[in-house]
């Protein structure tokens, strides 16, 4: 009995150590390259101006859709090479009316209205509806609550001059960070995930992740892949791996910033992360074998891809390590196992989480000059603990749906209050 428990405990420790090493490598890589990046100007593709279609899926987004569409009219990209498509996904508020006002005023803005019989099936379904009307060589996506830089299209589109690039991803920055403790902690997660994690993966030639918004694809490649998989809750992660398995890569563009309205309370945080966790787990079941068999990926990319696919299983693994570890303590485990207890205690705080361990956040905040924000880093241990029941429930629900043989994955959209508007006014003023 003790031997089995020790073997399980050792297995869990090895998995957590793998993430520990991975995050250390990512952090060191970004630290080493950050100074050189500041001194080099990137003129790659600066004169490249492909036609671009921007897809904006929107369901009941009357509080935020206006500010995004106003920003679309302020983009510096040539309007004769720009197409903006709003997908009004069976909204019950004034989302469609607001979008129509912009459509009438600007000939490059159009609106697709979906009724109740076809809408409300999730973001992937709405994006596929928009893709049918897209004519640009490049298709970019923005969620309705986002607020991009005026020159973001140029920054993202220029990367496609490289024929190996199938998709691009910009940086997400939290707009309403000062609102409360939840938005501040989400902001720290984003800093670690986008300032360090994504940048390191791009630098190291690993699996850079398309985040579902503030990014896009070659339209022909997207059509060849069949668009977004409407069965997947994490349609962005799913497309990431389909792009790599097709022989292309996702390019991360650090200076292409876009501001999001983060979730404002713990209930909304649960609902959002539950969807992300369950969707990521779907992708792990779908792509792990194909990833290992692929002849288009290097060994290192395959290892990184597996770690990325399984990141939402890690909180569950920590929970299991506690369940296994407590009996070992009571039953007097073998002395040779003692060092692994130290590894687990370190991993609990520094190696496991959804987006960023504390040293990635710390380094990211340092590189951004966010010294005051660093004081909240210890509170991230709470978000990690909160993710244990979130991920556990997501896994149990996913197993249940597979057992009963039904697709029980309902898209639960994040509600946006529009509180980011006041922060936009402050940001524009300064």
Q: For the segment 107-135, what is each residue's pLDDT rounded down to a tens digit?
A: 999 999 998 888 888 899 999 999 999 99
pLDDT-based confidence at residue 98 (cuts at 50, 70, 90): very high
Q: Is the pLDDT of residue 281 over 90?
A: yes
pLDDT in tens, 154-167: 999 999 999 999 99
Please give the pLDDT value at position 338.
57
Which residue, among 259, 261, 266, has the nearest Cα to 379 in the 3D structure? Answer: 266
Q: What angle, rounded to 10 degrees, do the helices at 181-190 and 380-404 form? A: 80
Of 19 and 148, the one with more pLDDT: 148
Residue 98 in contact with residue 63, Cβ under 8 Å? no
Q: What are the φ and ψ backbone dihedral angles of 140, each rounded to 5 degrees?
A: -105, 155
pLDDT in tens, 65-93: 999 999 999 999 999 999 999 999 999 99
The stretch 209-216 carries a mean pLDDT of 94
Helical ranges in 40-149 per DSSP H: 65-74, 95-105, 123-131
Of 331 and 236, the one with more pLDDT: 236
Please give the pLDDT value at position 37.
54
Q: What are the φ and ψ backbone dihedral angles of 262, each rounded to 5 degrees?
A: -70, 160
Residue 224 in contact with residue 139, Cβ under 8 Å? no
Q: What angle, rounded to 10 degrees, do the helices at 65-74 and 95-105 form? A: 20
pLDDT-based confidence at residue 19 (cuts at 50, 70, 90): confident
Please give the pLDDT value at position 16.
79
pLDDT in tens, 246-270: 999 999 999 999 999 999 999 999 9
Residue 147 in contact with residue 172, Cβ under 8 Å? no
The stretch 173-187 carries a mean pLDDT of 93
pTM of the model: 0.89
Q: Is the pLDDT of residue 188 over 70?
A: yes
Please give the pLDDT value at position 154.
96
Please give the pLDDT value at position 354.
38
Please give the pLDDT value at position 349.
43
The mean of the pLDDT values for the chain is: 87
Which residue, among 171, 138, 369, has the nearest Cα to 256 in the 3D structure? Answer: 171
User: H/E element holding 26?
Assistant: helix 2-39
- Name residue 255's beta-bridge partners: none
Which residues have CB under 8 Å from 296's CB, separation 6+? Answer: 244, 245, 246, 247
d(CA 94, CA 362): 41
Please give the pLDDT value at position 241.
98
* Lowest mean per-residue pLDDT among 6-15, 48-57, 190-199, 369-378: 6-15
The stretch 19-46 carries a mean pLDDT of 74
Q: Is the pLDDT of residue 419 over 70?
A: no
Please give the pLDDT value at position 341.
56
Tokens at 68, concatenated: 């995004």
Residue 276 in contact with residue 234, Cβ under 8 Å? yes
Q: Is the pLDDT of residue 313 over 80?
A: yes
Give domain limits for the chain: 1-35+43-50+137-430
Please give the pLDDT value at position 171.
96
The stretch 317-343 carries a mean pLDDT of 67
Of 356 and 308, the one with more pLDDT: 308
The stretch 284-306 carries a mean pLDDT of 96
The stretch 345-369 carries a mean pLDDT of 66
């Amino acid at each position: 009995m003790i031997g089995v428990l020790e073997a399980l405990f050792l297995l869990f420790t090895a998995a957590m150590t793998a993430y520990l090493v991975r995050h250390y490598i990512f952090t060191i890589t970004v630290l080493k390259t950050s100074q050189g990046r500041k001194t080099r100007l990137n003129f790659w593709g600066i004169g490249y101006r492909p036609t671009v279609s921007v897809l904006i899926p929107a369901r009941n987004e009357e509080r935020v859709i206006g500010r995004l569409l106003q920003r679309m009219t302020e983009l510096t990209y040539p309007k004769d090479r720009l197409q903006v498509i709003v997908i009004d996904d069976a909204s019950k508020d004034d989302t469609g009316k607001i979008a129509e006002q912009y459509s009438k005023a600007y000939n490059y803005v159009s609106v697709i209205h979906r009724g109740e019989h076809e809408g409300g099936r999730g973001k992937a379904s709405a994006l596929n509806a928009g893709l049918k009307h897209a004519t640009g060589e490049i298709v970019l996506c923005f969620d309705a609550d986002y607020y991009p830089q005026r020159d973001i299209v140029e920054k993202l589109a220029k990367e496609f001059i490289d024929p190996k690039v199938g998709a691009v991803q910009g940086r997400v920055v939290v707009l309403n960070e000062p609102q409360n403790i939840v938005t501040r902690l989400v902001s720290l997660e984003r800093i670690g995930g986008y300032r360090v994690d994504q940048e390191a993966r791009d630098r190291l030639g690993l699996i850079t992740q398309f985040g579902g918004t503030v990014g896009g694809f070659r339209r022909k490649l997207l059509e060849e892949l069949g668009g977004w998989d409407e069965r997947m809750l994490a349609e962005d992660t799913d497309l990431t791996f389909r792009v790599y398995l097709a022989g292309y890569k996702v390019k991360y563009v650090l200076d292409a910033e876009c501001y999001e309205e983060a979730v404002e309370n713990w209930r909304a945080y649960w609902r959002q992360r539950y969807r992300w966790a369950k969707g990521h787990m779907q992708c792990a079941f779908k792509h792990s074998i194909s990833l290992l068999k692929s002849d288009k990926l290097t060994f290192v990319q395959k290892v990184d891809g597996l770690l990325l696919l399984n990141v939402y299983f890690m909180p569950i693994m920590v929970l299991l390590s506690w369940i296994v570890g407590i009996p070992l303590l009571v039953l007097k485990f073998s002395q040779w196992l003692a060092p692994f207890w130290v590894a687990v205690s370190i991993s609990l705080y520094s190696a496991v989480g959804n987006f960023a361990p504390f040293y990635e956040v710390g380094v990211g905040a340092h590189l951004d000059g966010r010294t005051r924000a660093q004081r909240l880093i210890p509170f991230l241990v709470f978000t990690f603990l909160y993710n244990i029941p979130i991920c556990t429930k997501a896994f149990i629900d996913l197993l249940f749906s597979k057992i009963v043989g039904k697709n029980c994955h309902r898209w639960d959209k994040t509600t946006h209050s529009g509180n980011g508007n006041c922060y936009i006014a402050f940001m524009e003023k300064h």
